[in-house]
Amino acid sequence: MELNLASTCDVLVLGSGIAGISAALTAAESGASVILVCKGRLFSGSSFYPGTWGLGLVGPADEADEADLISTIEDVGCGMADDALVRALVKGIHPAIEKVRSMGVRLRKADKDGQQEYIPCFDHKHRDWNGIEFDSAREIFSQRLEELGVTILSGRETLELVRADGRVCGAVITDGAELHYLGCKALVLATGGYGSLFRHHLCTSDVEGLGQALALEAGCRLVNMEFMQIMPGYLSPAYQTIFNEKTFRFTDLRRPDGAPLLEGETASLLELRATHGPFTARLPSKAVDLAIYRACLEDKRGVRVTYSDEMRHSPPEFVKTYFDWLREARGLTMEDPIQIGMFAHAANGGVWIAPDTSTGVPGLFAAGEVTGGMHGADRIGGLSTANGLVFGGKAGSSAAAACTAVQEPPKTCLFKAVAAADCRKVFADLQDTMFHHAMVERDEAGLSAALERVKGLSSALILTPTDNVDEIARTRRRAGQLCTAQCILKAALMRRESRGAHYRADHPCEKPAMARPICVTCQGGAIQARFIEEGTTPCL
């Protein structure tokens, strides 16, 4: 099918989380004409997930603290972070915070920032803690996008990146009724992570791993795909609400039958578990997450949580802030019994970028949770927001600069209008497969079975020509999700050790010989994973 150019711009941004919005604003401020495309509403993705009160944001306490934060990120990342990206991230956080503040966005500060609850998870000290309030961010960013003349196309799904002469020059999108070819001189991919590939997830449904598949198809490399942040969340009564890990030290955890979740003296274990949100294989507190996950596999009702009198009567400030929000947004208090389980949250891996957000593919830049390298096997709390602000801004600037002397996009593009007869049940099957075999506890047999299952689901997508746009979009969506799932599984299979967020029950210890990131590429349609050699860069 030949599609005519529907509209064109200098910079096309895909995604409307904090990275996509930052990219659109910065590109427009640089003088570029900008179109922002998002599948859901503006202000979407993990950044604006409604299951929590706002965006936590941390940075170095001052310039003297930058070196320590760089070192800590690399230590917490277990050697899986790219040093150049880590340095670019840390150096860019303070200017990014000041820009947001100068725009008028409300940043919540701690009244009692010396409390231990304000130490970012996996960190060892207090930093510059900020909380970007959702309502304020939406209002200010909306005004600024309008002032700069950024065109917003919400409710549009991206199906393919268009390339000409080896350069990305646009995208094919759909509004559900028709296919449209949007042209550009540079494109910023900011479509988010892949949390919704798992049955239980703490992210919006548009965080589905399609950007990673689109980038892979365009010739990009993916890195650290096996490192998925997994953390506790509410199964009931407010499904998909983030559980505040700081409360673990005040909890009583029970199985649905009333039996204790953990045996023996557990106070020190829960005290340690209260210091970090996501699961990690690095700390003894992994026993808590493994017990919750196994309990959920045995009984879908999950683990029952009640709180101590100490917390109900005198909660720390950070915990009180959470429960104030929970009461207003969900109608729940500390007195209400809840059931929790393990949820996929945010990806630490994705498109491997250079510090300027280039991907090695001309015309294509990437930022936010769709990318990887600036984090490692574990990530310090509050740095996901920092990542989106810093590299989103860099992507906007780099994309705008790349428009110089670039020819206008072609007037037409070719698109294969094909679809599988019935792929409606594929996604639920994929989510269950990933939940059972690629969540907290992984092993060779489970990962191998999952990979074969995902390959089988891909092979079952028998493509035939059609003009049904809805079927075309659904098929492209499923194919992309299955592709990204294969990337996760292949990397997890190759890493026969436990490191950070990646826990192998059959290889429970970290292995020095595997202290290198894994890169995933696509050659001739075949997805391949390999350990990265020292000195390798993301540029092909």
Residue type, 443: D
Q: Is the pLDDT of residue 540 over 80?
A: no
Would 487 be classed as within a structural domain? no
Which domain covers residue 70, as residue numbers?
2-225+348-411
What is the reported pLDDT for 316? 81
What distance lies between CA 454 and its chain's CA centroid? 21
Average the pLDDT over 508-537 and give the result. Answer: 91
| Residue pair 450/489 in contact by the 8 Å Cβ criterion | yes
Would 475 be classed as within a structural domain? no
CA dist., res. 54 & res. 75, Å (int): 27
Asked which of 356, 380, 411 is the last residue of a domain, the reply is 411
DSSP state of 517: -
Q: Please check whether residues 318 and 407 belong to one and the same domain.
A: no
- Give, in order, the Cα–Cα distances in Å from 80 to each of 376, 392, 460, 500, 511: 4, 22, 35, 10, 13
β-partners of residue 418 are 465
What is the reported pLDDT for 54? 65
Q: Is the pLDDT of residue 539 over 70?
A: no
Q: Is the pLDDT of residue 535 over 80?
A: no
Would 117 be classed as within a structural domain? yes
What distance lies between CA 181 and its chain's CA centroid? 27
CA dist., res. 393 & res. 226, Å (int): 27
Average pLDDT, the chain: 93
Q: Is the peptide bond before 237 cis (omega within 30 degrees of 0)?
A: yes
Phi, psi for 189 (deg, rounded to 5)? -95, 115
Query: pLDDT tens digit string along 285-294?
Result: 999 999 999 9
- Tokens representing 299? 């009984």
Would 481 be classed as within a structural domain? no
Q: Is the pLDDT of residue 110 over 80?
A: no
Residue 451 pLDDT level (bands cut at 50, 70, 90): very high
Q: Please check whether residues 199 and 271 belong to one and the same domain.
A: no
Q: Please check whether residues 249 and 198 belong to one and the same domain.
A: no
CA dist., res. 368 & res. 87, Å (int): 16
Per-position DSSP letters for 374-402, written without gaps between them: SS-SS--TTHHHHHHHHHHHHHHHHHHHH
Q: Please check whether residues 265 and 398 belong to one and the same domain.
A: no
Q: Please check whether residues 15 and 92 belong to one and the same domain.
A: yes
Phi, psi for 535 (deg, rounded to 5)? 90, -5
Would 421 be classed as within a structural domain? no
What is the reported pLDDT for 111? 56
- For residues 237-276, b (16+ Cβ closer than 10 Å) or e, as one string? ebebbbbbbbbbbbbebbbeeeeebeeeebeebbebbbbb
- 59, 60, 66, 69: CA torsion to nearest 10: -70
Q: Please check whether residues 172 and 291 belong to one and the same domain.
A: no
β-partners of residue 502 are 499
- 283, 285, 287, 292: CA torsion to nearest 10: -130
Would 504 be classed as within a structural domain? no
Q: Please check whether residues 310 and 176 belong to one and the same domain.
A: no
CATH of the domain at 168: 3.50.50.60
Average the pLDDT over 429-458 and give the result. Answer: 97
At residue 98, the 3 state secondary structure works out as helix
Q: Is the pLDDT of residue 476 over 80?
A: yes
Average the pLDDT over 2-24 and give the result. Answer: 97
At residue 383, the 3 state secondary structure works out as helix
Q: Where are the beta strands (DSSP E) in 282-388?
A: 303-307, 338-347, 350-352, 364-366, 371-372
| Residue pair 70/92 in contact by the 8 Å Cβ criterion | no
Asked which of 345, 364, 382 is the last residue of a domain, the reply is 345
Query: pLDDT tens digit string along 341-397?
Result: 999 999 999 999 999 999 999 999 999 999 999 999 999 988 999 999 999 999 999
Contacts of 209 (CB under 8 A, 6+ apart): 193, 194, 196, 197, 480, 481, 484, 485
Q: Please check whether residues 217 and 263 belong to one and the same domain.
A: no
> Which residue is it, tokens 């997830």?
201
| Residue pair 267/259 in contact by the 8 Å Cβ criterion | no
Q: Is the pLDDT of residue 199 over 60?
A: yes
- Tokens representing 462? 């028998």
Average the pLDDT over 2-14 and give the result. Answer: 97
Q: Please check whether residues 174 and 249 belong to one and the same domain.
A: no
Average the pLDDT over 217-232 and give the result. Answer: 97
CA dist., res. 60 & res. 42, Å (int): 30
DSSP state of 332: -
- With a pLDDT cut of 70, the percent of the chain lying above it is 97
Task: Out of 68-72, 111-115, 327-331, pick the least confident.
Answer: 111-115
Q: Please check whether residues 236 and 88 belong to one and the same domain.
A: no
Average the pLDDT over 515-535 and give the result. Answer: 91
CA dist., res. 129 & res. 136, Å (int): 17
CA dist., res. 147 & res. 145, Å (int): 6
Would 493 be classed as within a structural domain? no
Average the pLDDT over 307-324 and give the result. Answer: 85
At residue 210, the 3 state secondary structure works out as helix
Q: Please check whether residues 67 and 216 belong to one and the same domain.
A: yes
| Residue pair 7/35 in contact by the 8 Å Cβ criterion | yes
What is the reported pLDDT for 520? 97
Query: pLDDT tens digit string along 149-187?
Result: 999 999 999 999 999 999 999 999 999 999 999 999 999
| Residue pair 160/214 in contact by the 8 Å Cβ criterion | yes
Total structural domains within the chain: 2
> Which residue is it, tokens 């965006």?
55
Contacts of 62 (CB under 8 A, 6+ apart): 128
Q: Please check whether residues 184 and 74 belong to one and the same domain.
A: yes
Query: pLDDT tens digit string along 114-140?
Result: 556 568 889 999 899 888 888 899 999
Would 497 be classed as within a structural domain? no
Residue 317 pLDDT level (bands cut at 50, 70, 90): confident
Q: Is the pLDDT of residue 189 over 60?
A: yes
Asked which of 328, 345, 362 is the last residue of a domain, the reply is 345
Residue 315 pLDDT level (bands cut at 50, 70, 90): confident
- Tokens representing 161? 């990146």
Task: Out of 8-22, 111-125, 517-531, pick the least confident.
Answer: 111-125
What distance lies between CA 90 and its chain's CA centroid? 19
- Tokens representing 413? 């593009």
Helix or strand holding residue 6 (H, E): strand 2-14
**End-to-end CA distance of the chain, in Å?**
30
CATH of the domain at 278: 3.90.700
